[in-house]
Amino acid sequence: MKIRIWLLMLVCLLAVPAGRQGLGYWTFPAGAMGSPAPKNESSPVVSEGKYLIDNFESGSLKFPREWWTFDIQKAAAVSNSGFKSGEEKVAAEVGSYSLQLQGPAKNWYVGGCGTYLAKEGQDLSKYNNFVVDVFGNGPGSATLKIELYDDDNNNWQIEQDSAKNYVPIYDDKYVYDIKVDWNGWKRVSIPVADFVDDNPRVGDDIWNPQPTNGSGGLLQLQFICLGATDKAAVNLNLDNIYLATGEK
């Protein structure tokens, strides 16, 4: 009996400090059972000087990165088997899947998609080029509007006015338009400095992608598709979306 009580006390003594360290204490450390080193799936950095946003190789818009879509008829990860033409170097690097955007325009507007980029401890301000591979289907494929949002009221989110076309209320939106009028794959590289403030007097009208003073910095990316005419259909694919330092 004495031994049992002694054991109970010992267990209690061990459990109290362990409990303070949180639930994680009770999980087995990675590799303890001979498993391979954990992969850092959450970090999409593929090489020095490059931050890969997405290459769609999962064949999904839900993982590893989640994309939201709006208004557009079709925004989906599709097989690249039918998309081989264009710049050879690019065609060789698009892999198995890309993002297809298709749909008719209504008063020029077609819709689009977006994704949240900010993450604790990540600084995207060191990248000065936005790069995307675009598969066009000839003249009139689309006008692709790229939107980058920075956080000016330090809350890591973009508040929008649903009564006014979802325009940001407190944060800056910087945009760049690409007229897609070519056939096949083409790599488009845009200096971030060439993006222009789309909402003067909202936000601080300064491009500040760095996460400082509580701001999330560069928070999110959106692609908006516009028709070549007010009623034209858009049809294009995007792939290998990344931020880069220097040239590419």
Of the candidate residues 160, 204, 210, 232, the single one contacting Ca ion (CB under 5 A): 204
**Nearer to Ca ion among residue 112 and residue 217 (C-beta):** 217
For residue 54, count other CB atoms closer than 10 A to its CB.
Answer: 23
221 within 8 A of 117, measured Cβ to Cβ = yes
Q: Find the shortest distance in angstroms from Cβ 204 to Ca ion.
A: 5
To Ca ion, the closest distance from the beta carbon of 14 in angstroms equals 45
**Is 58 a residue that touches Ca ion (CB under 5 A)?**
no
Q: How far is the CB of 157 from Ca ion (least distance, A)?
A: 5
Residue number, 155 or 160, with CB nearest to Ca ion: 155
- Please state whether 56 falls in left (phi above 0), alpha (psi between -120 and 50) or beta: left
Q: Which stretch binds Ca ion (CB under 5 A): 28-36, 67-75, 86-94, 114-122?
A: 86-94
**One residue of 54, 133, 147, 151 binding Ca ion per CB under 5 A:** 151
Q: 104: alpha, beta or left, given left = phi > 0 and alpha = psi -120 to 50?
A: beta
Indicate the residue among 71 and 204 with the shorter CB distance to Ca ion.
204
Q: Does 55 bind Ca ion (CB under 5 A)?
A: yes
203 binding Ca ion? (CB under 5 A): yes
Closest CA to 221 of 118, 152, 101, 129: 118
CA dihedral for 108, 80, 45, 70, sign (positive or negative): positive
What HEC string does 132-165 produce?
EEEEEECCCCEEEEEEEEECCCCCCCCCEECCCC
CB of 231 to Ca ion, least distance (A): 31
Of positions 61, 77, 91, 94, contacts Ca ion by CB under 5 A: 94
Which 8-state DSSP code applies to residue 209? -
Which residue ranges make up the site for Ca ion (CB under 5 A)?
55-56, 94-95, 98, 150-153, 155, 171-172, 203-204, 206, 208, 239
